[in-house]
Amino acid sequence: MSQKKYWQSFGEVNDSENFQKKQQDEFREELPFEGFDDKGLIDAKAPRRDFLKYLGFSTAAATLAASCKVPVRKVIPYANKPENLMPGVAKYYATTYVQDGDVVPVVAKVRDGRPIKIEGNELCSFTGGGTSARTQASVLDLYDSHRLRFPIHKTGSGKEAKYEEVPTFEQFDKLVGEAIKNAGGTTVLLTSTIVSPSTKEIIAAFPGLKHVQADAVSYSGMLLANEACGFGRKLPSYDFGAAKVIVSLGADFLGTWLSPVENAKGYATGRKIDEKNPSMSKHYQFESYLSLTGASADERFTHRPSEEGAVALELLNALTGEASTRPGIKKVAEDLKANNGAALVVSGSNDKNVQVIVNAINNAIGAYGKTIDWSKPVNYRQGIDSDFAQLLSDMEAGTVGSLLVYGANPAYTSTDAARFTAALGKVKVKVSFSERMDETTELCDFILPNHHYLESWGDAEPKAGAVSFLQPTIYPLFKTRPYQTSLLYWAGNNTDYDVYFKNYWVAKLGGEDAFNKVLQDGIKEDAAVAASAGSYSAAAVAEAVAAIGAAKKSTGTEVVLYQKTSIGTGTGATNPWLQELPDAISKATWDNYALIGLGMAKTLLGLDLVNGSEKESNNYEYFPQKPVIKLTVGKNEVELPVLVIPGMDANTIAVAVGYGRSINLGRTAAGVGKNVYPFSSYNGSTVIYHADVTAADAKKKEKIAQTQIHNSYEERIEVVRETTLATLKKYPTVIPDYRTHLESTFGKSKDGTTTDFRKEGTLYPQHDQPGIKWGMNIDMNACYGCGACVVACHAENNVPVVGKSEVLRYHDMHWLRIDRYFVSDEKDPNQLKGVVFQPMLCQHCDNAPCENVCPVAATNHSSEGINQMTYNRCIGTRYCANNCPFKVRRFNWADYTGADSFPNNQDQELVGKLDPVVFQMNDDLTRMVLNPDVTVRSRGVIEKCSFCFQRLQAAKLEAKKQDRPLKDGDAKTACQSACAANAIVFGNVHDSSSAIAKTRKENANRGFYVLEQLHVLPNVSYLAKVRNTDELIEPDTHNAAVAAEEKAGSTEKKAEEAHH
């Protein structure tokens, strides 16, 4: 077998590029297949014999294609191996996720020169190593094939426009420099919020440059209100962990408001329960639609979006004892008063007057200096809407000669994009530093794409006294340049930004060693100082009260705009992982839609989901086709499909922004959803994100790809356990009672002596775990459904993206999903009591039903308690998925990853049409994000959560290399390390000192396993969700469910026994 130079044709010998291309086609021309028609197999034009011929041929061809060709593989080492680089060993670099003012200190995992995974930076005191879904997904943006790849000069306009590459940066600098000089007028830099101190210095040093910051979703109202209240134009740090009572007036502080990771970390500390002395913070939410944050609230009250001022005002008045007819106000006010100094009120309104009232409330309840800290003002949002309005008029007046745009995208996000576009036409020189061809960049003449943050040097100051640093983790993939370098050059300072940045910090920190230290740590925080109360002034309150009182009362239907945790203001729209991440509440992917309440569904669409016929509601729930409504605000019309959810205000329609992007942004963003930014309006001071709307049935249907309806638990409600704090206090064992009951009933041995449910509940032998036994615990009280874990799982485990069409066919591939359960009055689903989020992943059952049914033993149990899935052994019967009570197994219906040996498996005509995004995920650039330690699955195999087995193996190997036992915390799963709320604990349950063993022991009264009556013995335990309300659920009610279950359980049991 030696001397391998194989060839089959002369084309192969010469190996020309054309030939290689042709080689990729299995068949050189169209095959003479004729489709079968309705006539049946025998009468068809290609009858049975031909069919057999084709079958024989294809089997033979497949055998040949798959096996006989053993290619000669080359292995190419470095010419000069960098000293600190070890192929196959991951390196970790501290850097910072920065996106339009959002700052999350992170650590990038770099494997063989490619960043492949983002982890939170645990050295950061305020995020504590937490991340968000968008942070986790940001690594995929780096490899986005739709990034701009070189400096561009646009000539012509409209359809005639030509985008030409400018060969060198020098030429580009010359072109732009001359253009700016010739343009005259003022030069304006329009950006989203800039958090980098060194960049701010560069901008300040640019002669004659006017800097305008405009945020896609503005926080001007808060900034201006704080200024009016004497704090200055700043935003304070909020400490949700210190608050015993949290009142949110429409602020989605866990999902999108200011710094959700930081907020969630604090919030989760207050929501964790010490069982010896059960207590937790109380969270009230006033809002118009069911937000992610509202879903976690203990008590929710809904109101019209236009009433946000009235609600705040009534709450303020109620604090001084004034009566209010609005539900909840009195109770909340009393609770706030009772917890003076340990309460916090936040508002998501962008109306200055509302925020002034909220400040007055916070002052009244002693929040300043306690839960609100003015010693560390945050820099996350700095844009002032009136500045942008002024810029717009200046542009229209023609006084702006040159406009440099970075981060901001007003041609998409502004209230009146057409006006901005027209005004931009009057600007002579338009320069964009955008990484992508977004809506504003399309209109610019000069485009110099910025680096991705993982390619950049830089700094970010999220709050006073804390600086997080960026360092490159990969050489720039494309001919891009930091926008700061351009600003430096064009201001006549011929320094590159990386040099400038280094000099800036070496001087500040007093030496290179100190600089290297902060780069290594990624974050530099000043010593903690006592919280400051600031200097509150009530001067503006009277004016605000008057303004709110005078506001027009709305009576019709209203629309409110919100952001999704995944897409945000629209920056996540180009990211396939984020598009495929199901929304926490609606569980919908790849779309925006109109969220409406049950009442509106009835009045608007005649859809009665409560009292209507079963067929009616089934039709709505079962089929992805949802009725479409037409929303009209002023001149702007948008047609959107509806999703009916409980907990909505009766007169409110909620729609997410960030969709309906330009086709130039690429295959992922294009054609997904509709843009609703035009529904926002500028009230002369700030942008308002709600409006009166005319809604009408559009008499048609559109498909929405939801995920949660895909599987059913066959009415086994015991999968999720939830109670109230009052119940838990009165009946501490209400949750474990069920297990006690099962143990005493089914755990008896034949002679009745032992009560070992684990052993006696099954006919199967026990698995031995001589060494480690892995286990996971998920605290459903801490989980708030953000989805960071789902995206982290995507990134860590090469989970494929399938696109909308496949999600619609129930082919979604998430290994980890977050199930959302509404808790409501039985008779009135609209009376929402709460929402429970349950992260659901493979439970790694010790008595796994999937393992018994596999005909080829491709799934079996390991000696460490893991339910293993062996892809190369799987033949795709899907018996295991059918037999899984939790429906966590996923089948590769198509070749989503391009991993198959047969290129035909991605042939759209043979195997069905897949969305373009699947092919985007398959191109060589995007595939650089794949984790090389995890197999990329091919078509026709089952896959599922592996407890991040590659990480466990790596941790064990490291311990072996260091000749020591495994330590708790050595092995962390991707979902665990992504979670900002620390809801997930993982480790070796055999180690009694491990966090997992302790968590299970200390939370015995809340701990449960899903569907315990099935005796599948999961290795994932949950802590029951507890709502902090006074409602007392009598154990009888709990037991009613138990009794029903038991009945079902015992019949099943009998059936099972009969089977054996």
Binding site residues, other proteins, CB under 8 A: 1-4, 67-68, 70, 72-81, 86-89, 768, 770-772, 858, 860, 862-864, 866, 868-873, 899, 933-936, 946, 949-950, 953, 956-957, 959-961, 963-966, 990-991
Q: Taking the complex as a whole, how short is the minimal distance between the CB of residue 858 and other proteins, in angstroms?
A: 8
Cα-Cα-Cα-Cα dihedral sign, residues 657, 661, 667, 673: positive
Q: Which is nearer to other proteins, 81 or 162 (CB)?
A: 81
Cα-Cα-Cα-Cα dihedral sign, residues 394, 395, 399, 404: positive
Please provide the DSSP assignment of 314-375 as one string.
HHHHHHTT----STTHHHHHHHHHHTTTSEEEEE----HHHHHHHHHHHHHTT-BTTTEEEE
Q: Which is nearer to other proteins, 447 or 948 (CB)?
A: 948
Q: Taking the complex as a whole, how short is the minimal distance between the CB of residue 898 and other proteins, in angstroms?
A: 12
H/E element, 469: strand 466-470
- Cα 57 to Cα 35: distance, rounded to the nearest angstrom: 18
- Cα 735 to Cα 693: distance, rounded to the nearest angstrom: 46
Q: Which is nearer to other proteins, 608 or 991 (CB)?
A: 991
- Cα 706 to Cα 709: distance, rounded to the nearest angstrom: 7
Distances (CA, A) of 984 to 119, 432, 814, 989: 15, 42, 18, 14
Please provide the DSSP assignment of 608-626 as one string.
-TTTS-HHHHHHHHHSSEE
Residues 6+ apart with CB under 8 A from 598: 609, 610, 644, 646, 648, 829, 830
Q: Which is nearer to other proteins, 72 or 550 (CB)?
A: 72
Q: Taking the complex as a whole, how short is the minimal distance between the CB of residue 463 and other proteins, in angstroms?
A: 39
What single-letter DSSP state applies at residue 90?
A: E
Q: Which residue has 């196959």 as its token pair?
A: 88
Q: Which residue has 């009393």 as its token pair?
A: 334
User: Do 685 and 570 contact (CB within 8 A), yes or no?
Assistant: no
User: Do 451 and 141 contact (CB within 8 A), yes or no?
Assistant: no
Distances (CA, A) of 452 to 131, 139, 449, 481: 18, 9, 9, 10
Q: Which is nearer to other proteins, 60 or 86 (CB)?
A: 86
Q: Which is nearer to other proteins, 12 or 543 (CB)?
A: 12
Q: Which is nearer to other proteins, 5 or 49 (CB)?
A: 5
Distances (CA, A) of 607 to 586, 596, 622, 832: 18, 11, 14, 19
Q: Which is nearer to other proteins, 7 or 623 (CB)?
A: 7
Q: What are phi and psi of 832, to 5 degrees?
A: -75, 125
Q: Taking the complex as a whole, how short is the minimal distance between the CB of residue 789 and other proteins, in angstroms?
A: 19
Q: Taking the complex as a whole, how short is the minimal distance between the CB of residue 1060 and other proteins, in angstroms?
A: 26
User: Do 771 and 829 contact (CB within 8 A), yes or no?
Assistant: no
Q: Taking the complex as a whole, how short is the minimal distance between the CB of residue 4 and other proteins, in angstroms?
A: 5
Q: Taking the complex as a whole, how short is the minimal distance between the CB of residue 935 and other proteins, in angstroms?
A: 5
- Report H helices in 890-948: 908-911, 916-922
Pairing of the two strands 694-703 and 942-943: unpaired
Q: Which is nearer to other proteins, 523 or 941 (CB)?
A: 941
Cα 464 vs. chain centroid, distance in angstroms?
27
- Length of the chain in residues, anyone? 1060
Q: Which is nearer to other proteins, 112 or 521 (CB)?
A: 112
- Cα 904 to Cα 846: distance, rounded to the nearest angstrom: 39
Distances (CA, A) of 1027 to 241, 890, 941: 17, 33, 41
Helix axes 352-364, 308-319, angle to 10 degrees: 20
Q: Taking the complex as a whole, how short is the minimal distance between the CB of residue 924 and other proteins, in angstroms?
A: 16
User: Do 406 and 434 contact (CB within 8 A), yes or no?
Assistant: yes
Measured from the Cβ of residue 255, the count of other Cβ atoms closer than 10 Å reads 30
One-letter amino acid at 786 equals C
- Cα 65 to Cα 575: distance, rounded to the nearest angstrom: 35
User: Do 952 and 1019 contact (CB within 8 A), yes or no?
Assistant: no
Whose CA is closest to 372, among 385, 360, 384? 360
Q: Which is nearer to other proteins, 805 or 950 (CB)?
A: 950
Q: Taking the complex as a whole, how short is the minimal distance between the CB of residue 899 and other proteins, in angstroms?
A: 8
Q: Which is nearer to other proteins, 5 or 276 (CB)?
A: 5
Q: Which is nearer to other proteins, 32 or 77 (CB)?
A: 77
Q: Taking the complex as a whole, how short is the minimal distance between the CB of residue 990 and other proteins, in angstroms?
A: 7
Whose CA is closest to 127, among 463, 577, 578, 453? 463
Q: Which is nearer to other proteins, 145 or 870 (CB)?
A: 870
Q: Which is nearer to other proteins, 56 or 771 (CB)?
A: 771
Q: Which is nearer to other proteins, 48 or 69 (CB)?
A: 69
User: Do 919 and 926 contact (CB within 8 A), yes or no?
Assistant: no
Q: Which is nearer to other proteins, 494 or 872 (CB)?
A: 872
Q: Which is nearer to other proteins, 77 or 207 (CB)?
A: 77
Measured from the Cβ of residue 894, the count of other Cβ atoms closer than 10 Å reads 23
